[in-house]
Structure 1
Amino acid sequence: MQATNHSAHTRRAESEPQHFPPLELVNRPTVPTEQAAHYLLRRPQTLRGWACAETFPDGLRPVRVNGRLCWPVAGIKAALGVAA
């Protein structure tokens, strides 16, 4: 079996952290799991576990859009104690 060679660009893209706008500048009602995890200082898998077990902080209930989790920005701000 032959090993798959990935270009340096592909490897670099996987290791680069994602950059999200500051929470104060987000004007959408919900954000995806990766972005919510960034704001809450958690790993995305932690938020997925919260959603599965329904053990998320008060006011942070995710909604599903086309099978994907979306986290309410107002709930993220409430969990962080930031004024909405």
Structure 2
Amino acid sequence: MRIPSASPDPASSRAFPPLDGVTSPTVDTGLAAFYLNRQPQTLRAWASLENGPIRPVRVHGRLAWKVAEIRKLLGVDQ
């Protein structure tokens, strides 16, 4: 009997550039979550409750996370 494999998570198949290769000042929630090793929903909760270690900026109603703050939080401040 063959057991069907779980369908791959679309976010896991997304290619993420290394953090030191990011040149934009901000990244979207999915990319920030990848760098911080958290689920995107965790970052959305941080934004909503304003209780996370970093705060996003809102660009046209969407969350954008400052790359400089992510680097600082991870201890790779440039």
1:23 aligns with 2:19: yes
Q: Which has the larger radius of gyration?
A: 1
- Which residue number in structure 2 is paired with residue 34 of structure 1? 30
Match of 2:60 in 1: 66
TM-score by length of 2: 0.82
Partner of 1:47: 43
Query: CA offset at residue 23 of structure 1?
Result: 0.2
User: How far apart are 1:83 and its partner, in Å?
Assistant: 2.2
* Partner Cα distance (1:51, 1:15) in 2: 20
Q: Provide the alpha-carbon RMSD of the alignment.
A: 1.8
CA–CA distance in 1 between the matches of 2:67 and 2:24? 7
Change (3 A) 1:47 1:16: closer
Moved over 2 A (4+): 11-17
How far apart are 1:61 and its partner, in Å?
1.7
C-alpha separation between the residues in 2 aligned to 1:49 and 1:15? 19
Gaps of 5+ in 1: 1-10
In 2 relative to 1, CA 82–14 (structure 1 residues): closer, same or farther, beyond 3 Å?
closer
CA distance in 1, matches of 2:59, 2:76: 25
Count of residue correspondences: 72
Counterpart CA distance in 2 for 1:47 and 1:37 is 7
Gap runs ≥5 in structure 2: 1-6
Identity %, equivalent residues? 53
The one-letter amino acid of 2:29's match is: T
Q: Which amino acid aligns with 1:73?
A: V
